[in-house]
Amino acid sequence: MKLRQGRIGLFAGTALAALSLFTCGVFSIDPKTAYANGNSTYLSLPLAVIISLSALIPAMLVLNWKRVGLNGLFTYAFGKVGGIVAAVILSVSFVWAAAKPMTEFLLVLTRLVYDGVPYMRIVLYILPVTVFIAWKGFESVGRLALIFSGLILISVAAAALSASPEFAAYRLYPLPSGNADFFKTAFSGSVFFLPPLAALLVNEEGLGGVKNVRKTLAAAAFISAAAIGLVQFALALIYPHRVLSGLLMPLYRINFLSLRQSYALRLDKLFIMVWLLGCVISCAYLIYSASYLLTKTFSARDVTPAVLTVSAAVFFLVTAEFSENYARAEAVGSFFSRFGSLFALIPPLLAAAVGSIKLKKESRL
C-alpha cells in the first residue's frame, strides 16, 4: 500500500491544521461580502472557527466508539454508494479550500509583485511544487508545517507591528452590532475552516487515533482563532471597511500607510514569499487529505492517482479566474461563498447522526 500517510505528533498536527486555518481565514475571504456593512471579521471569523470545530464534535464522538476512520464512517452510515457520494462531496470542499487562497496569492504575485510575468507562468512555478509536497504524504506535509509555522507567525507579527504606529481606533467604527450580517459572515466563513479541521479527521491514523485528533483539533482551532482575530483586528485598525472591501490582500499592504523610510517598508515582498510557503503547505495538506479520503473510499492501494486527479481539479479552479471560464468561475465562487460550508458540514454531521442511530441499535441487539 502506497498511501504515504506516515505518522506525526501533536505539535506537527497542530501546526499543520492551524497554518491551514490561518491561511484560509486571512487570505481567502471575499472582501466584497465580508466588509459590505462594516468590519466584524475580527470577531466573526474566530467565531466561524469555533462553529466549525463544534460541527465536527458529533463525528468525533461517533468515531470514538466506531474506530473506522471518517471514510469508514461514511460507508457505515450511508452504505457503499452513499459513502462514495459523501466522500466526494467532502473532497470538493477540500479542493475549494485549497484553491481559493492559492488563487489569491497568484493574483497578488501577478498584479503587484512580478512585472509583466503571465499568470500561467507563475501558476506553473508554484503548483508543481505544491503537488509534489502533497504526493510526498501527510508526514512530509506535517513536518514542513512544523518547520515553517514559527517563521510564518513571526513574519505576520512583524508586518502587523511595523504598521502599529498608524493604528487608529476610529477605523473600527461603526462597531459590529451582532446583527444578521455578523452571523451570516460567521456561518459562511466556516466554508474555509471546516475543510482543514475535517482533514484532521480524515488523517486520524496519521495522528495516532481519535484521542490525538481531538487534542489537535482543539489546539489548532483555538490557536488559529486567536491569530486570525488579532490579524483581522490589526487590519481593521489600519483600513476602514470601505477600503478593505476593494483591497486585494490587505495584509500585504498593511504598512503602506507608514511613511518612515525604514526596512519595514521593504519587507512586504519578503513576507509575501513566507506567507506563500504557508499557502503551499495548506494547499498540499488539503490536496493530500482529499486524495487519501478518495483512495480509502475506493479501496485503492496507491494515493498517487488520486493526488493527480485532485491536483488537476485545483489547477482548473486556480486557472479558471484567468481564462475564458472567468464568468463561470465567478458564479462558482459566488455559490461557494454562500453555500460552500454545507459541502464540508453535511457529510460528517449526517454520517454522525445516522452512525450514532445505527450504533445504538447495534448495542441494543
Partner 1 sequence: MRKSIIRLIAAVAAFAFVLPLTGCLQPVSLDECGFVISIGVDRGKEKKFYYTFALQRPLSEQNVKDEGGAIALSSEGESIFEAINEMEGNVPYSLNFSRTNFLIFSRETAEAGDIEELVSTSFDALKIRTSAVILVSEGNASEFIGGMYANNDANISKLQSALMLDEKKTGMVTVMSVSRLLEACSDARFDYCSAYGVYDGDIVTDTEQKKSESEGKNPLEDVKIGDRAGGLKSSITGAAIFSGYKMTGVLTRYETMLLNMVTGAFRTGVVTFPYKDGDSTVSVLLSLKKRSISVNEDLTGEAAIMLTAAVHEKDASVPDDEIDAWLTGELAGIIADDMLRVFLKCRSADSDAMRFGTGAVKLFRSAEEWDAFSWKERYRDFLPEFRVTIENTDKYLNENMQ
Could you list the residues that contact partner 1 (CB under 8 A)?
37-38, 111-117, 121-122, 125, 168, 170, 173-175, 177, 179, 239-243, 246, 248, 253, 255-261, 265
299: enclosing H helix or E strand:
none
Longest dimension (CA), the chain: 75
Residue 186, C-beta contacts closer than 8 angstroms, at least 6 positions apart: 44, 45, 47, 48, 51
Please state, in angstroms and rounded to a whole number, the distance separating the CA atoms of residues 191 and 200.
16
Query: Which of 158, 202, 178, 182 has its CA nearest to residue 17?
Result: 202
Q: How far is the CB of 39 from partner 1 (least distance, A)?
A: 9
Between 60 and 144, whose beta carbon lies closer to partner 1? Answer: 144
State the minimum distance, in angstroms, from the CB of residue 267 to partner 1: 12
By three-state DSSP, how is residue 2 classified?
strand
Residue whose CB is less far from partner 1, 80 or 121? 121
How far is 216 from 54, CA to CA, in rounded Å?
A: 14
For the CB of residue 270, give the shortest distance to partner 1 in the complex, in Å: 14
Which amino acid is residue 260, in one-letter code? R
Q: How far apart are CA 276 and CA 230, in angstroms?
A: 20
- The C-alpha cell that represents 162 in the structure block: 511595523
CB 36 to partner 1: min, Å: 8
* CB closer to partner 1 out of 11 and 114: 114
- Looking at beta carbons only, is 80 or 260 nearer to partner 1? 260
The distance of Cα 265 from the centroid of its chain, to the nearest Å, equals: 28
Q: What are phi and psi of 26, to 5 degrees?
A: -95, -35
Q: Residue 332 CB, nearest distance to partner 1 (Å)?
A: 25
Q: How far is CA 332 from the centre of its chain?
A: 18
The distance of closest approach from Cβ of residue 162 to partner 1 in the complex, given in angstroms and rounded to an integer, is: 12
Alpha helices in 66-137 (DSSP H): 69-108, 119-136
What radius of gyration, in Å, describes the C-alpha atoms of the chain?
Answer: 20
Q: Looking at beta carbons only, is 5 or 162 nearer to partner 1?
A: 162
**What are the DSSP calls for 247-267, one per residue?**
-S-GGGGTTTT--S-SGGGG-
Question: Closest approach of Cβ 239 to partner 1, in Å?
Answer: 7
* Of residues 61 and 264, the one with the C-beta less far from partner 1: 264
CA distance 45 to 22: 10
Closest approach of Cβ 250 to partner 1, in Å?
Answer: 11
d(CA 351, CA 339): 19
CB of 246 to partner 1, least distance (A): 7
Taking the least distance from each CB to partner 1, the nearer of 174 and 305 is 174
